[in-house]
A and B are shown apart, each in its own frame.
Chain A
Amino acid sequence: MSAPAIASEAASGLSLPERPLITIAPSRGWVALDLADIWAHRELLYFLTWRDIKIRYKQTALGAIWALIQPLFPMLIFTLFFGRLAKMPSDGIPYSVFAYAALLPWTYFASAVGNSSTSVIGSSNLITRVYFPRMIIPAAGVLAALVDFAIAFALLGGLMLWYRIPVTMSALMLLPLIALVTLLSLGFGLLLAGLTVKYRDLRHALPFLIQLWMFATPVIYPASLVPVKWRWVLSLNPLTGVIEGFRSALFTRSFEWNSLVFSVAFTFAMLVFAAYIFRRQERVFADLI
């Protein structure tokens, strides 16, 4: 049998759909999110996250311990200087647990935003060679940080046991709070990832800004340290609600609902805005990178 005969045979067996599966045309104005496309590529999201984690742990001598060190060492230093020496109030909780409970979500947020903001420029070899929804790249950066968070969370459990802090039903609030900080990180990550492609100097500015941001967030100090009159200013920081919420959930205190509601509203507004900016930038990624 000759080769062309096989070809036509196979070709006739192939039935083409009535409508095109994909139509490629220049996009204009508001670009739809196309969540279906992202869902179709969910395995890639999993693999990219898995790769990020695997590589990080293979390249560092400390491996997974690194995930513990990141919140642990600042906690020790803060406990020494702020807790012991400066006698920082900590709402009646041992300072080390108090600080760690905040450093945990803060470290997650900081590394998730850090990972995802440089993720797109770091994936230039993928972007110029294969198609997939680009949002998967910063999303994988956030998820990789979530794995670190989970590892570091184990230590929190240990600290709580050590200091005999009872865990109550309010700890269930941690789940929506973790979801919230994940979405908030994704929002900032998407926005910065898109902008960093165009403005490379953001990459250098970001670590510095995040550092400053920590001091504007009640991580090393309690929100109660701020006079009630000025509390609302602190609440304008979307992380205040999250971080204070973490403490409330862990130490069974009442929740500061105002700042929490603000955080939720801010997160969703940020996500929509960031997704819009990202989708607009996305068109020229392959040309710019």
Chain B
Amino acid sequence: MRPIIHVENLSKQYQIGMREAYYETLRESLMKALSGQRKRAPEEFIWALREVSFDATPGDVIGVIGRNGAGKSTLLKVLSRITEPTTGRIDLYGRIGSLLEVGTGFHPELTGRENILLNGAILGMRRAEILRKFDEIVAFAEVEKFIDTPVKRYSSGMYLRLAFAVAAFLESEILLVDEVLAVGDASFQKKCLGKMRDVSHSGRTVFFVSHNMAAVEGLCNRCLFIKDGRLAGDGSPHELITKYLAAEAVPENASRDLTQHVGRPGKMSGLMEKVSLRSQDGLAASAIRMGEGFSLYLDFAGTRRFRPNINITVKNYFGVPVFTISTRVQKQYQITEAIASGTLVCHLRDLPLLEGTYSIDLFLGEEYANLDIVYDAISFEVLPADVFDSGQTPLSSEGTIFWPAEIEIIPAAETVTSASPSRA
């Protein structure tokens, strides 16, 4: 199929400091001109995008991923003509609608109705088009009663719903979306994702920049991975998200030297020397995705032989223990031989942990006494994932862990039909 967007060798250079508000005063400029000072040194430039090339065909829903500052937003800004590329070219065979922030141009003094008209015009809709869709927009935003109230009196939820609703009815063939879904409450996010899914099934081309990997994986059929301004990958979302997360999970944080950990209780303080985490693939990793597991490697060196017993407590961000693995309680894991030094390995699989940062306390000792205790020995990240294949991540605000379920309804009538999902 012919591409709707053709991007060729696109590069964008910024002067350092320019992305912050950089401006000189007239006086400075005049002084410079008078003193014969020339332009700034060339090393004060950075490339935000470097020789990026790709084609997109109609119907592509492309997730753009990469860490902060990698160039994702710059790419969208160049595509949407907000800023000019330094070199390269883009051919667009369709109208482009950019949604880099909801509610662009909204004014608090104007009413909901007025803001819809204004915002629609700013996003490039014709007046007739906005008026035709007006009722749909209002219904989607659920603000019918307040449509003639200034938006400064809206709750933040209403404001966001209205702002998103206008944008959701854009009719351009190409749609650029940047992190819009990072805002709003859970039910609003669900609604936005639902709308995004409708859009992505309508044959339009969508670029979706997000740090929400679950949303990217659920919505997109293709992914662009941007690293340091370059296109580091172009392909299936699953493959690239894995690649991205592997690059993100900094190996330096995956290992901690415990000998420097001072002030710890226990009879044989200093027994535990090093703790490290590895991903399921056996690579050093400080981050896993929801539903995945990891392995903990604990190096210890004791002054005498003992029969190791370990307690591993995983605590959430608030320091609340989520679960503990204990060889004292789970007798089947007990180690029977006595040893002075070695490495203890614990494999944790399919963790139902929600997104967030977790910390591990380690208690190593004999059967009845802890010889060495290290609180917060190491921490790890759990990154969002589409664990239920729904395009949405269970929210960390909704609990401590996620858990699958089967739901059925027993009707009031005598006949009972099961509605449990069949995997056939």
**B104 contact from A14, A54, A130, Cβ within 8 A:** A130
The chain B residue with its CB closest to the CB of A18 is B93
Contacts of B2 in A (CB 8 A): 16
As a 0/1 sequence over residues 274 to 289 of chain A, the CB contacts with chain B under 8 angstroms (1 = contact) are 0000000001101111
- Tell whether, in the assembled complex, residue B201 and residue A21 are in contact, meaning their CB atoms are under 8 Å apart: no
Known contacts A7-B200, A8-B59: A26-B87 contact under CB 8 Å: yes
Chain B residue nearest to A128 (CB atoms) is B82
A283 to B81, CA, bound (A): 10
Interface residue A233 (Cβ < 8 Å from any Cβ of B): no
Interface 1/0 per residue, A1-22 and B, CB below 8 Å? 0011011111111101100111
Residues of A within 8 A of B221 (CB): 4
Consensus secondary structure, chain B interface: loop
A residues near B343, Cβ cutoff 8 Å: none
Question: Which of B6, B88, B92 counts the most chain A CB atoms within 10 A?
Answer: B92
Provide the residues of chain B in CB contact with A211, threshold 8 Å: none
A132 & B118 in contact (Cβ 8 Å cutoff): no
A229 to B108, alpha carbons, bound, how many Å?
56
Query: Distance in Å from the Cβ of A134 to the closest Cβ of chain B?
Result: 10
Contacts of B58 in A (CB 8 A): 11, 14, 16
Given A128-B82, A130-B82, A287-B14, are A10 and B98 neighbors across the interface (CB < 8 Å)? no
Whether the Cβ atoms of A55 and B25 lie closer than 8 Å is no
Total chain A interface residues with beta-carbon distance under 8 A: 53
- Residue A258, interface by CB 8 Å: no
* A23 at the binding interface (Cβ < 8 Å): yes
B18 and A11 form a contact (CB under 8 A): no
The answer to whether A47 and B121 have CB atoms under 8 Å apart is yes
Q: Are A23 and B18 in contact (CB under 8 A)?
A: no
A126 touches B18 (CB 8 A): no
Q: Select A289's contact among B21, B86, B107, beta carbons within 8 Å.
A: B21
| Chain A residues whose C-beta falls within 8 Å of the C-beta of B114 in the assembled complex | 51, 54
**Taking the complex as formed, is A85 at the interface, i.e. its CB lies under 8 A from any CB of chain B?**
no
A51 and B118 alpha carbons, distance in the complex (Å) = 8
Q: Contact string, A218-255, partner B, CB cutoff 8 A, digits 1/0? A: 00000000000000000000000000000000000000
**Chain B residues in 8 Å Cβ range of A202:** 26
Cβ of A131 under 8 Å from chain B:
yes
Question: Cβ of B406 < 8 Å from any Cβ of A?
Answer: no
Q: Which residues of B contact A26 (CB under 8 A)?
A: 84-88
Binary A-proximity of B3-27 (CB < 8 A = 1, otherwise 0) = 0101000000011001101111111
- Residues in chain A near residue B150, CB distance under 8 A: 58
In the complex, the answer to whether B91 meets A198 with C-beta atoms within 8 Å is: no
Flag if A9 contacts B203 (CB, 8 Å). yes
* Nearest B-chain residue to A58, judged by Cβ: B109
Q: Is B248 an interface residue (CB 8 A)?
A: no
- Option from B81, B96, B109 in Cβ contact (under 8 Å) with A55: B109
> Are B14 and A22 in contact, with the CB atoms below 8 A?
no
Is there an interface contact between B89 and A25, defined as CB atoms closer than 8 Å?
yes
Closest 8 pairs (CB-CB, A-B): A10-B203, A11-B59, A20-B91, A131-B81, A11-B203, A199-B26, A24-B90, A47-B121
Interface residues of B, Cβ cutoff 8 Å to A: 1-2, 4, 6, 14-15, 18-19, 21-27, 29, 57-59, 77-96, 98, 100-101, 104-105, 107, 109-110, 114, 117-118, 121-124, 126-127, 150, 173, 197, 200-204, 221
9 contacts between A and B (CB under 8 A): A7-B202, A10-B59, A10-B203, A22-B96, A24-B85, A54-B110, A129-B98, A200-B25, A284-B18
Q: Besides A55-B107, A129-B100, 4 other CB < 8 A contacts?
A: A10-B59, A23-B91, A24-B90, A289-B21
